Amino acid sequence: MLGYTIKRLLQMTLVLFVVSVIVFLMMSFTGDPVFMVIPIDSTEAEIEQARRLLGLDRSLFSQYWIFLTNLLQGDFGRSYVFRQPAMDLILERLPATIEMVLVAITLATLVAVPLGVYAGANPNRPASRGIMAGSLLGISLPGFWVGMMLIFFFSVRHQFLPSSGRGETIQFLGLRLSILTADGWSHIILPAVTLALATLAIILRITRAGMMEVMRQDYIRFARAKGASRRHILFGHGLKNALIPVVTIFGLQLGDLIAFATITETIFAWPGTGKLLIDSIYRGDRPVIVVYLMLTAFIFVAINFIVDIVYTLIDPRITVK
């Protein structure tokens, strides 16, 4: 177990290193960030001054070297635009994103797993077919369209829920959370539903496929013959064995939602990290993009690590090496 953890940590370090190199190289193709910061009619001297202030007067290689050595000392660099530590900018916005994602994925799981179990156990019922058709819709409808429609229907037409923003927040353990207030909930519902829709559909379909597979197995027939209750067969024997792919997808989706909730955040003016990423790309703000993508890579690696551990809990036959 310890060896496994160390191996994963080493892998992670390698992934982060590669990500930082790629982002640094790619950003050198996206234009000179200095022109995004200074007025357009600046003279050469003023441009040189700005380059010096931003540390852009050095070669790309030495910029990267400085970035790397600072990184090892816990300094992730400063945003060209905000002139603040890039990590602070991201961490400041991260709670909002994570909060929305957790609400969305909880919602998705709570709806998707029971429906998936039902549709998988009773594949021929009309209700199951309806569920499957609905899930196709969930996968195919683009998030920005769903978001706009929800705003139009619930906010503009019926003035039932607010269209944008985070609403009232409360400080809890140093984090600003909106799920602790009624106003906050009214704000989070629409973006969370928008974000949840595609994930819900995917988890549902995976659960159904797993259940259909499992329900054909001999041990299910045996459990039936034994006289076990239907609920026990479905959830105790069926779902538990169908869960491995669901957990895998759950982990991947969770990482995906945290990293790329961009569109939903933009539509609902949600003050999260996704919007920061888009803005930073437009502004050529390399330090923020680098740190953001490295953090994203870290989150993915960490989630997958946790998923691997969870496998062993679900299926005792699996061990980590």
Among 58, 83, 125, 129, binds other proteins (CB under 8 A): 83
Does position 288 interact with other proteins (CB under 8 A)? The reply is no
The binder of other proteins chosen from 64, 82, 260, 298 (CB under 8 A): 82
**Is residue 183 near other proteins by the rule CB under 8 A?**
no
When asked if residue 208 is in the footprint of other proteins (CB under 8 A), the reply is: no
CB 308 within 8 A of CB 104: no
DSSP per residue over 10-70, as a string? HHHHHHHHHHHHHHHHHHTTS--THHHHS-TT--HHHHHHHHHHHT-SS-HHHHHHHHHHH
The pair phi, psi for residue 319, each rounded to 5°, is -130, 150
24 binds other proteins (CB under 8 A): no
For residue 201 the two structure tokens come to: 């559909």
| Per CB under 8 A, 166 contacts other proteins | yes
Q: Taking the alpha carbons of 176, 147, 200, 281 in that order, is the dihedral positive or negative?
A: negative
Per CB under 8 A, does 134 bind other proteins? no
Rule CB under 8 A: is residue 292 a binding residue for other proteins? no
Supply the minimum distance, in Å, between the C-beta of residue 195 and other proteins: 15
Cα–Cα distance, 220 to 216 (Å, whole number): 7
Q: Tokens for 265, please give them.
A: 């955040």
Which residue of 20, 128, 163, 207 would you call a contact of other proteins, by CB under 8 A?
A: 163
In this chain, which of 91, 137, 156, 318 binds other proteins, going by CB under 8 A? Answer: 156
Whole-number Å distance between alpha carbons of 237 and 219: 8
Does 283 sit near other proteins (CB under 8 A)? yes
Q: Under 8 Å CB-to-CB from 46, ≥6 apart: which residues?
A: 38
Should residue 282 be labelled a site residue for other proteins when binding is judged by CB under 8 A? yes
* Residue 4 or 82 with smaller CB distance to other proteins: 82
Which is nearer to other proteins, 80 or 300 (by Cβ)? 80
Let me know: does 194 contact 267? Beta carbons within 8 Å. Answer: yes
The residue (of 253 and 280) whose beta carbon lies closer to other proteins is 280
CA dihedral 253, 259, 260, 262 (to 10 degrees): 140
Q: How far is the CB of 271 from other proteins (least distance, A)?
A: 3
The residue from 275, 289, 292, 305 that contacts other proteins (CB under 8 A) is 275
**Nearest to 286, CA basis, from 25, 76, 79:** 79
Residues in contact with other proteins by the rule CB under 8 A: 30-33, 35-44, 46, 49-50, 53, 81-84, 89, 92-93, 96, 148, 151-152, 155-156, 159, 162-166, 169, 176, 266-269, 271-272, 275-276, 279, 281-284
